[in-house]
Copies of this chain bind each other. A is one copy, B any other.
Amino acid sequence: MPASERLGSHLKRAEQALNATKTAVLKPAGLTVAQYAALLHLSDNPGISAAALARLCGVTPPTMNTVLKNLQDRGLITRSPHEWHRNVLETRLTDEGRAVMTDADTAAVRVERALAAEFTDAERGTLTGLLARCVRVLEEQRPGSS
């Protein structure tokens, strides 16, 4: 089966392009794509736990732990014990984190707008619909989807 016939190849290429562009536009803000994603969801959910943040970002808790450690070392977030659940750490943006996030978000949204502008409303709907079907089929193919 030639690579050009594999839908996966096209999907991968598109995601690679997305990632490369996001990496490039986030570089001036000093953030990686993963760090931006974490800060983005964090700004919408102050005090969220690392595990819950991991779920929102679609990664595992140890992965999020790595990302948060780097963000904390740079002073962009704080992690403090939860009042009641002593085992849970509440993660929050610092003032500097908010500033960096605002800066990065401007660049990231610019890319998203350029991407959206390429398509009509109908095309966008078609694309997201087809992608959703890809996700569904792929998850069905995975035994671990129980």
Contact = CB atoms under 8 A, between A and B. Distances in A.
A101 to B, nearest CB: 13
Interface string A71-83: 0000000000000
B8 A22 contact: yes
Q: Is the interface of A mostly helix, strand, loop or mixed?
A: helix
B18 A138 contact: yes
Contacts of A127: 7, 10, 127, 130, 134
Number of copies: 2
Interface residues of A, number: 53
Contact of A15 (B15, B41, B118): B15
A85 interface: no
Contact of A134 (B8, B24, B118): B118
